[in-house]
Amino acid sequence: MHSARQRQVMGELLCQVCAGPADQNDDDGTLWLLQDRRTDWPGWPQGMDVTEPPICVHCLPIAIRACPALRESHAAIRAFTAPIVGIRGTLYTPSPTGPVAAGVSVVDFDNPDIRWVLAHQLIRTLHQAVVLN
């Protein structure tokens, strides 16, 4: 996904496919469609950091058909809260000739290194998350 589009839809909780409002309500939270990684840790996806924006119900089948990773495995998730916690981007380090790229890094907003990161994506953390399928 294009960096500017990712930051816009993630920041405003818009659908990753159509950029309309993501499916959300006060009782169940926001709808997310992610690769199914339930075996990664007990309680998955609680506390999971995501760069994938949420989705609307109408675009669920479109996303599954269009994304090879989701065709392989996917999970629909409702997260009651998902605050923006940081960024993913290229970390630079100072040098005598100017900043030098040191690689891609994930940085929380309270990390002092954030001033050296060229952000590509916003990161949200899923809380009170429930797997629907």
Residues 6-17: tens digit of each pLDDT: 999 999 999 999
Residues 80-106: tens digit of each pLDDT: 999 999 999 999 999 999 999 999 999
Task: Give the HSE-up count for residue 89: Cα atoms under 13 Å, Cβ half-sphere.
Answer: 23
CA distances from 47 to 89, 108, 129 (A): 20, 14, 8
Residues 105-128: tens digit of each pLDDT: 999 999 999 999 999 999 999 999
Q: What is the pLDDT of residue 84?
A: 96
Q: Under 8 Å CB-to-CB from 4, ≥6 apart: which residues?
A: none
